[in-house]
Amino acid sequence: MLRLDDLQAVADLILEKDNYPNRVMVEVRLIKAGYSRRKQHKVVIPFWALKRGDDYAIYYTIHEIAHIVSPPLSSHGTRYKQVEDRLLGYWEFMVKRKKVYPRTLYSRGQMVYTTVNPILLCSVRE
């Protein structure tokens, strides 16, 4: 199972590739839903996401980082998804979504996660 340091390294690399000017700190907590805090430069990942496997935990981290990078108030809309797709591309990930959350996750073209009922439970707050 990945650790906090691993997810921080993912966040650092993704933000560097996207030329984002600030470091964003990753936290892992025993909570139901992850979230991001743009002004605090912080994302919070629920511990259950780490238990779901390395690829899923990395996906979740990139999902939250995309909330920091995407335009304010873009929620899970089209502009958010464009940013998320770009950031996932840096990790050679691709998702097929059911509305927002991944139904299937691919790493370098290989399916690494799939579910009939996607849940991610991300609460979007600016």
Which residues in this chain contact Zn ion in the complex, by CB under 5 A? 122
State the minimum distance, in angstroms, from the CB of residue 77 to Zn ion.
11
H/E stretch holding 104 reads strand 101-107
**Cβ nearer to Zn ion, comparing 2 with 62:** 62
Separation of alpha carbons 107 and 34, rounded Å = 22
**Cβ nearer to Zn ion, comparing 90 with 108:** 90
**CA 22 distance to own-chain centroid:** 17
Residue nearest to Zn ion (CB): 122
36 burial (CB, 10 Å; 0-12 / 13-18 / 19+) is buried
State the minimum distance, in angstroms, from the CB of residue 33 to Zn ion.
9
State the minimum distance, in angstroms, from the CB of residue 24 to Zn ion.
14
**Cβ nearer to Zn ion, comparing 32 with 108:** 32
The pairing of strands 25-29 and 42-46 is parallel
